[in-house]
Amino acid sequence: MKQLWNIAHYEFLHVLKDPILILIVFIAPLFYASLFGVVYFSAILHDVPLAIVDQDHSALSREIRLAFANDDSFKIIAGIDSYEEMEIGMKNGTLRAGIVIPQDFEQSLYQNHPTQVLAVYDASNLIWGLNSRKFIREVINDFSTQHTAVRLASAGYSPQEIENIMNSVECNVTAWNNPTYSYTNYLFMGLMMMAVHQLGLFGVCLCVTREKERKSWIQYLAASIPTWKIALGKSLPYLIMNFFNYSLILWVSSRFVQVKIEGSVALLIILGLLYVITVTFAGFIISLYSSNSLQATRYLMLLSLPLFMISGYTWPKAYIPEILNYIGVLFPSTWMMLGIRMVSINTAGLQLLWPTLLVLGIFAVLAGYFALNFKKERNQPNKSSLSLNGGVSYPRKTNMLRALRQQIRASKL
Amino acid sequence: MTNLNLKIMRRELCYMWRDRGLRNILMFGPLLGLLLFLAIYNAQNIKDIPTAIVDLDRSSSSREISEKICNAENLKVVTYPTSYQELEGQIQRGEIIVGVVIPENFARDVALHRHTQVLLIIDASNTAYATNASTAVLGVTRTISAEAGIKTLMSKGMDPAQAKDTYLAVDFKEEGWFNPTLNYVYFLVLAMALNFWQQCCTIAASINVIGETGVKSWLQIRAIGFSKFRLFFNKSLIHIMVFMAMIIPVYIIAFGVFKLPLACGFGPMLFFTLLFAIALHSLGTLMSSAANNAMDSTRFGMMVALPSFVLSGYTWPIEAMPGFLQPVVWIFPQTWFFQGFNYLTFKNPGWDFMASYFWALIIIALVCYSLATLITAWMER
């Protein structure tokens, strides 16, 4: 046991001696949580810049304008009086939506001539586009209801009769799990689980490559220490720190970013533990087989975007080709991101979550097994390729010029 | 161009080629990224949103409602659970996004002009799904309520045409501009591939200075009094040429084969991308000049490159970010590029508007290269 603690202690000292590693292990998770938390803090879009081109200037067109003006989702941009001006505004991004009320609109309407109000939205950014379309429909529905009520009143119906007519079939729309359609609830935890994944790997992936670069890995291989002690001792500081970071991220997300984190705390802990074990041991295995720290870091860094996209966390799995879904399930990040959504947002219990826990458990066991039972063989450096960035070292400043100058000075003396 | 400059460039190209990890990343990264994202977003739109109807009434009136839901844009009725609890389970398991519950005695209440409710549930845990579902549901609810109201008015003796006019007085026509089919491929795929490309470029650029000053041959270079400017200029030139060589096939596939929108034309887009490649390279060079080793430099680069896409406002708009963050995000060249890219591909608002985006990338490049020069000179002292 003492050997295990010694290796873990030595590894922890390495972390403390590397300022960038300290940043990655201790600061970066909190930094990313804060950064993305700030970015998505508003959670929903509002004040969509909207132009109303009123070519009718009638009482009805003013009513339409008022309906949009009274809705918090839109901010009416004044001074846009023509279709051409609206087009320019839409092109240069000062406008994201527009309403065009045609000439003689009210007159045509009351004379039963076909006429239409044009509602346009900027779909070049689909977050603007889809939300603007939804907001426009909401305002139109409300306006139509009010307008109908006014027309019924003018036809001589009493308020009670109007209510009865209009509510004869009431459609009650409710949104479950994320009632405000918050983008923070939707995206934040997925991004954070990717951060835990990446930062966890970055930290631990140096633990063996560092030893290889310092030529001290041979000592571990030659010593009569069982492989499981080496692997566990090297991984232990990262296991603890990664789980601490996972818990910290959950707390920050819930306390400061106002992300919905409900559901069972025990399930969140189990999910986190399994994920952290998998990531840490996978990082150890990567470190074991990488030529040097730079190579390992480069490849790992590029993983985040494809893993995030293939997970089905943002773009629904039902729309991703089957083959990619099959590939996606081979990565623990896919299960974790969907699992954390199920617990924190959908408040799912064990009866729904057990397949996710089972798969993450299998990942954890496999990663642990391969990490703890690695072969004590030293890979021969590849002589056929250039060692630059691919060998056992990578460029590092040793202030050679200064050292040379000192040598020259010393030789002169 | 002198022979010596060519030799430096050839040497750099040789180093990049023989660095197997970097070679793989640069050669295959962006192309694989594009193909992967194209495959992921193959469906293009969120249509056929899985919908379930719980018809507790089983009357002709309730079947009418079901039919309207079946015919609604983007909704696809895939199941008819027999109870609310069954529907609840399906939504919790993620099998269903929209649930409709038609209550018992619905037809009787409608016939007797009694108030009745149809419940429409949307699982909003995935906002991409939910926003589309909500829009589809809004269209259906409007129709259902209006038709019920019209029937009530007719039963009260109103002329059918008059009743219809009362309800559908104001007709709205919707138009999505610049991407009328709300196609996710147009919006996201190339941007994601470019995001991946800029991450690959950052990896390459972040060893620009340290790749020389961190190896022993640097002593020889310094000893023979070789111009540092000449060395790094030629190295940078090759890096930028390689970055452009990586992106051109991506653009050819995206714009040529898959016909993604390109409002501005290929030339301006390529020039804008070239300026971004230079700005990105300058940022990597700055990091490589300040770092102690190639790995730290790469890690610095990626700490900027990884969150830069989220910060660029390409997806979540800058206007929706907190006020204090909005000016900060414009420090990064990625913000200028991805915002400009969106304008150039979808809108082409003209040179007067776009000039600031081109100039911003040039200024960022100048500032970063200048700082890198100063830092390298200072470190050498």
Mean pLDDT on B127-149: 86
Q: Is A389 among the domain residues?
A: no
Q: Is A208 among the domain residues?
A: yes
pLDDT at residue A157 in the model? 85
Determine the residue among B46, B48, B119, B170 to mutate to test chain A binding: the one whose Cβ has the most chain A Cβ atoms within 10 Å: B170
How far is Cα A125 from Cα A48, in angstroms, rounded to an integer? 13
Q: Domain total for chain A?
A: 2
Domain ranges for chain B, please list them.
3-42+183-380, 49-167
Q: Is A177 among the domain residues?
A: no
pLDDT at residue A55 in the model? 93
pLDDT reading at A282 higher than 90: yes
- In which domain, by residue range, is A134 found? 48-166
pLDDT at residue B169 in the model? 59
DSSP reduced 3-state for B371: helix
DSSP reduced 3-state for A123: coil
Q: Are residues A226 and A323 in the same domain?
A: yes
pLDDT at residue A290 in the model? 85
Structure tokens belonging to residue B310: 């989220």
How far is Cα B348 from Cα B249, in angstroms, rounded to an integer? 22
Q: Are residues A266 and A331 in the same domain?
A: yes
Please state the pTM of the whole predicted model: 0.90
Residue B84 at interface with chain A, using a CB cutoff of 8 Å? no
Q: Is B71 exposed, middle or buried (0-12, 13-18, 19+ CB in 10 A)?
A: exposed
DSSP bridge partners of B55:
B102
Determine the residue among A184, A294, A400 to mutate to test chain B binding: the one whose Cβ has the most chain B Cβ atoms within 10 Å: A294
pLDDT reading at B142 higher than 90: no
Structure tokens belonging to residue B124: 């909003």
Name the residue with higher pLDDT: A148 or A95. Answer: A95
How far is Cα A256 from Cα A37, in angstroms, rounded to an integer? 8
Could you tell me where the DSSP H helices lie in B314-350?
Answer: 325-329, 333-342
Residue B303 at interface with chain A, using a CB cutoff of 8 Å? yes
Other C-beta atoms lying within 10 Å of the C-beta of residue A50? 28
Mean pLDDT on B351-376: 96
Q: Are residues A149 and A84 in the same domain?
A: yes
Name the residue with higher pLDDT: A109 or B278. Answer: B278
Partners of residue A324 in chain B, C-beta under 8 Å: 36, 39-40
DSSP reduced 3-state for A131: helix
Domain end call among A114, A134, A166: A166
Name the residue with higher pLDDT: B179 or A144. Answer: B179
Q: Are residues A254 and A274 in the same domain?
A: yes
Q: Are residues A285 and A327 in the same domain?
A: yes
A with B: how many residue pairs have Cβ under 8 Å apart? 376
Q: Is A390 among the domain residues?
A: no
Provide the CATH number for the domain formed by B49-167 in this structure. 3.40.1710.10
Partners of residue B145 in chain A, C-beta under 8 Å: 145, 166, 169-171
Mean pLDDT on B105-119: 86
Dihedral, B345, B349, B354, B355 alpha carbons, nearest 10: 140
pLDDT reading at A413 higher than 80: no
How far is Cα B104 from Cα B59, in angstroms, rounded to an integer? 9
pLDDT reading at B316 higher than 70: yes
Residue B95 at interface with chain A, using a CB cutoff of 8 Å? no
Mean pLDDT on A234-240: 96
pLDDT band at A86 (very low <50, low <70, confident <90, very high): very high
pLDDT band at B168 (very low <50, low <70, confident <90, very high): low
How far is Cα B153 from Cα A152, in angstroms, rounded to an integer? 10
Within a 13 Å sphere around the CA of B199, how many CA atoms are in the beta-carbon half? Answer: 28
Partners of residue B302 in chain A, C-beta under 8 Å: 297, 301
Over pLDDT 70: what percentage of chain B? 99
Average pLDDT across chain B, whole number:
91
Structure tokens belonging to residue B56: 């507790």
CA distances for A314 relative to A103, A287, B133, B184, angstroms: 43, 30, 15, 12
Over pLDDT 70: what percentage of chain A? 92
Q: Is A135 among the domain residues?
A: yes
Q: Is A323 exposed, middle or buried (0-12, 13-18, 19+ CB in 10 A)?
A: exposed
pLDDT reading at A387 higher than 70: no
The complex's ipTM works out to 0.89
Domain end call among A166, A192, A224: A166
Average pLDDT across chain A, whole number:
89
Q: Are residues A201 and A102 in the same domain?
A: no
Task: Tell me the per-residue pLDDT of B197-238, one tens digit each, with 9 for 90 and over.
Answer: 999 999 999 989 998 888 888 888 888 888 888 999 999 999
pLDDT reading at A306 higher than 60: yes
Q: Are residues A322 and A356 in the same domain?
A: yes
Q: Quote the crossing angle between the two packed helices B3-18 and B20-40, to the nearest 10°.
A: 70
Please name the member of A32, A92, A166 whose beta carbon is closest to the beta carbon of B307: A32
pLDDT at residue A360 in the model? 97
Q: How far is A139 from chain B (nearest CA, A)?
A: 10
pLDDT at residue A380 in the model? 59
CA dihedral sign of residues B210, B215, B216, B221: negative
pLDDT at residue B1 in the model? 56
Q: Are residues A317 and A290 in the same domain?
A: yes
Q: Is A173 among the domain residues?
A: no
Q: Are residues A227 and A291 in the same domain?
A: yes
Contact flag A305-B33 (C-beta cutoff 8 Å): yes
Residue B121 at interface with chain A, using a CB cutoff of 8 Å? yes
Contact flag A173-B169 (C-beta cutoff 8 Å): no
Q: Quote the crossing angle between the two packed helices B266-290 and B228-251, to the nearest 10°.
A: 140
Residue with tokens 């653009």: B251
Cα Rg, chain A, nearest whole Å: 30
Q: Is B2 exposed, middle or buried (0-12, 13-18, 19+ CB in 10 A)?
A: exposed
How far is Cα A371 from Cα A283, in angstroms, rounded to an integer? 9
Please name the member of B43, B184, B195 whose beta carbon is closest to the beta carbon of A305: B195
Residue B129 at interface with chain A, using a CB cutoff of 8 Å? yes
Q: Are residues A6 and A135 in the same domain?
A: no
Other C-beta atoms lying within 10 Å of the C-beta of residue B331? 12
pLDDT band at A386 (very low <50, low <70, confident <90, very high): very low
Q: Are residues A35 and A74 in the same domain?
A: no
Q: Is A302 among the domain residues?
A: yes
pLDDT band at A401 (very low <50, low <70, confident <90, very high): low
Contact flag B192-A346 (C-beta cutoff 8 Å): no
Q: How far is B2 from chain A (nearest CA, A)?
A: 27
pLDDT band at A114 (very low <50, low <70, confident <90, very high): confident
Q: Is A171 among the domain residues?
A: no
pLDDT at residue B299 in the model? 85
Residue B257 at interface with chain A, using a CB cutoff of 8 Å? no
CA angle at B51 for the pair B50 and B52, rounded to the nearest 5°: 135
Q: Are residues A33 and A80 in the same domain?
A: no
Return residues 177-236 of B near A (CB < 8 Å): 177-180, 182, 184, 187-188, 192, 195-196, 199-200, 203, 207, 210-216, 218-219, 222
Mean pLDDT on B292-316: 89
What is the spatial order of strands in the sheet that A117-122 belongs to?
A74-76, A48-54, A97-101, A117-122, B172-177
CA distances for A128 relative to A95, A406, B176, B313, B315, angstroms: 10, 62, 11, 11, 9
Give the least confident one: B27-41, B164-178, B343-357: B164-178
pLDDT at residue A292 in the model? 79
Closest residue on chain B to A88 (Cα): B349
| DSSP symbols for B245-284 | HHHHHHHIIIIIIS----SS-HHHHHHHHHHHHHHHHHHH
Contact flag B19-A389 (C-beta cutoff 8 Å): yes
Structure tokens belonging to residue B154: 């007719």
pLDDT at residue A111 in the model? 78
